Amino acid sequence: MLSVKIELLEALAQLLENTLAGAGVKAAFESPKVAALGDLATTAAMQLAKPLGQNPRQLAEKLRSEMLLSAPFQRWVDAIDIAGPGFINIRLKPSAKQAVVQEVLCQGAQFGSHASKGQRMMVEFVSANPTGPLHVGHGRQAALGDAVSNLYQTQGWQVYREFYYNDAGVQIGTLANSVQLRARGSKPGDPEWPSGENAAAYNGDYIADIAADFLAGKTVSSDDREFTASGDVEALDDMRLFAVAYLRHEQDLDLKAFAVKFDNYYLESSLYLSGKVDDTVKRLHDAGKTYEHDGALWLRSTDYGDDKDRVMRKGDGSYTYFVPDVAYHISKWERGFGKVVNIQGTDHHGTIARVRAGLQAANVGIPAGYPDYVLHTMVRVVRGGQEVKISKRAGSYVTLRDLIEWTSKDAVRFFLLSRKPDTEYTFDVDLAVARNNDNPVYYVQYAHARICSVLANWREQDGGEVASLCDADLTPLQSPQALALMLQLAKYPDMLTAAAHDFAPHDVTFYLRELAACYHSYYDAERILVDDVTVKRARLALVAATAQVLHNGLTVLGVSAPQKM
């Protein structure tokens, strides 16, 4: 049906161009808000009525008449109706909807995807400092970042995944001191252990594990570093390096369990060691965008829409945190990433304006609005009807590993992607392990497994293979349920494009649930393995195409498509 839609769109564009020069580029179809009104709709008449000085309803009638005379519309369209002030609703012939089945079967895993555009983009996500286990918020960010990356890959982008973290800041110093206290035999609650709301110490059991392994002289390695402990309790710097490597290793285990991989790990410390921070400050100074006030160096960020100017260098000579952020994003630009997406928590909202202001002030050719941001809220976890707030491992929060162990990688990914990133979300552990239709990931995966069972029975009975269905006669697919299922399959490519554009992987979860519902309705309405060979092959082709699209969509989310459940 994708080819049918393109053919109809080209015909519509020509009609609009003939009606008003330049209007052809505005040709577009949308889905009617009420399915009973038709399969496709266009608002072209209402858009062109004002520049043409015509009544939109009358213009719609004129366009309808011209469409009915057009060969593509005659070939693929069953009826065209006018509704309201000038909506043009189009009802497709069954043959138009049936075309999608062969498109899916022929394209397979590539259905819905575009060829490479040769364009590079970076998605930076997780970016957790190695001071403790990854928490559920990091999990939401990991799921979002990976799914956004997958979405853009379907649109032909070359996507580079990067993890940025601070390996030498104040928090890392607190980590080292906490490990040293544990190594000396102290623990939370002892007189010498820092206490109070703002105490500089980490209290989780993982600190004791790090200390024990350090004293044992163990070697730890992660994707980006390796370190062997000296065992010397007084060697604080060794302890810091060991703790960072230890926790980076732990993060790698969490990310592996979550099936997330990165192309690069970028250290904040490297921005200082390489001189990129100093170079950035010099660029801003030379551009006349800084000034001294009260012993501090300020950026004129209000010149670029920020609500107030921002301190770059404090009176003690240290830089505020947004300065290395600006240097880091200049590095992204210089590495050839013309499009960059940052997945971060909503607590980073205040940094957006100042980072973008710094990038514009640096005058290195970076366009306004660079980078893009996707901000997400934190996640509440409920188990047994009660909110879970702490983890024995972490001491003060639920970890990503806890959530995976309580449920599954698939459930965690699907659930964390099932709402808009900036909306509050409550993760119900009991629902995530339920094997019923209330569990959305189970509902979608069960649809796929159900189809695989039908195909397996067919192979066992007839020795048939899915590849042989590509040339099946699809004429028997005429029932309302079959037509609805094919129309839903045809929506997949446009849904992917829109979800990528809007950074909205939740749209994929909604689509998959709708597709699963369409399949379950079809399965309940029509028996597939019937005696009539032509009918059987047509129905098998339809369900095989459905399984393929379910598989493709779940792959975008990083969720498996099981053949048995």
Amino acid at 537: R
**Three-class DSSP category at 296:** strand
Q: Can you tell me the mean pLDDT for 5-20? A: 92
pLDDT at 345: 94
Asked, for residue 509, whether it belongs to a domain, the answer is yes
pLDDT at 518: 97
Indicate whether 242 and 130 sit together in one domain. Answer: yes
Indicate whether 142 and 213 sit together in one domain. Answer: yes
Decide if pLDDT at 301 tops 70.
yes
The predicted model scores a pTM of 0.92
CATH number at 8 reads: 3.30.1360.70
Domain end among 70, 92, 114:
92
How many domains are contained in the chain? 4
Contacts of 159 (CB under 8 A, 6+ apart): 121, 122, 123, 149, 150, 152, 153
CATH number at 242 reads: 3.40.50.620
Written as six digits, the tokens of 355 are 């980072």
CA angle 515, 518, 524 (to 5 degrees): 140
Q: Can you tell me the mean pLDDT for 254-274? A: 95
Indicate whether 230 and 284 sit together in one domain. Answer: no
CA distance 79 to 23: 24
Domain end among 375, 392, 419:
375
Indicate whether 129 and 258 sit together in one domain. Answer: yes
pLDDT at 329: 98
Indicate whether 463 and 504 sit together in one domain. Answer: yes
Indicate whether 233 and 287 sit together in one domain. Answer: no
Decide if pLDDT at 369 tops 80.
yes
Indicate whether 169 and 249 sit together in one domain. Answer: yes
Asked, for residue 477, whether it belongs to a domain, the answer is yes
Question: What are 516-532's pLDDT values in tens digits?
Answer: 999 999 999 999 999 99
Amino acid at 76: W
Indicate whether 242 and 180 sit together in one domain. Answer: yes
DSSP string covering 54-121: --HHHHHHHHHHHHHHSHHHHHHEEEEEEETTTEEEEEE-HHHHHHHHHHHHHHGGGTT-----SEEE
Decide if pLDDT at 283 tops 80.
yes
Decide if pLDDT at 77 tops 80.
yes
CA angle 132, 167, 283 (to 5 degrees): 140
Asked, for residue 98, whether it belongs to a domain, the answer is no
Decide if pLDDT at 330 tops 90.
yes
CA distance 529 to 539: 8
Asked, for residue 422, whether it belongs to a domain, the answer is no
Decide if pLDDT at 198 tops 80.
no
Q: Can you tell me the mean pLDDT for 124-153? A: 96
pLDDT at 7: 92
pLDDT at 196: 77
Asked, for residue 286, whether it belongs to a domain, the answer is yes
The 3-state DSSP composition of the chain as helix, strand, coil percent (nearest 5) reads 55, 15, 30
Of the pLDDT bands very low, low, confident and very high (cuts 50, 70, 90), residue 117 is confident
Written as six digits, the tokens of 199 are 């105490």
**Three-class DSSP category at 449:** helix
Decide if pLDDT at 393 tops 90.
no
CATH number at 456 reads: 1.10.730.10
Mean pLDDT of all residues belonging to the chain = 94
Q: Considering the chain, what percentage of its residues have pLDDT values greater than 70?
A: 99
Asked, for residue 516, whether it belongs to a domain, the answer is yes
Q: How many helices (H) and strands (E) does the chain have?
A: 21, 16
Of 194-203, 273-282, 286-295, which range is least confident? 194-203
Of the pLDDT bands very low, low, confident and very high (cuts 50, 70, 90), residue 36 is confident
Asked, for residue 400, whether it belongs to a domain, the answer is no
Indicate whether 281 and 259 sit together in one domain. Answer: no
Domain that holds residue 317: 274-375
Domain end among 225, 254, 271:
271
Decide if pLDDT at 297 tops 90.
yes
**Three-class DSSP category at 472:** coil
Decide if pLDDT at 3 tops 90.
no
pLDDT at 388: 92
Q: Can you tell me the mean pLDDT for 99-116? A: 96
Q: Can you tell me the mean pLDDT for 437-464? A: 96
Asked, for residue 111, whether it belongs to a domain, the answer is no
Indicate whether 87 and 193 sit together in one domain. Answer: no
C-beta of residue 359 within 8 angstroms of C-beta of residue 330: yes
Indicate whether 71 and 177 sit together in one domain. Answer: no
Indicate whether 475 and 519 sit together in one domain. Answer: yes
Decide if pLDDT at 336 tops 80.
yes
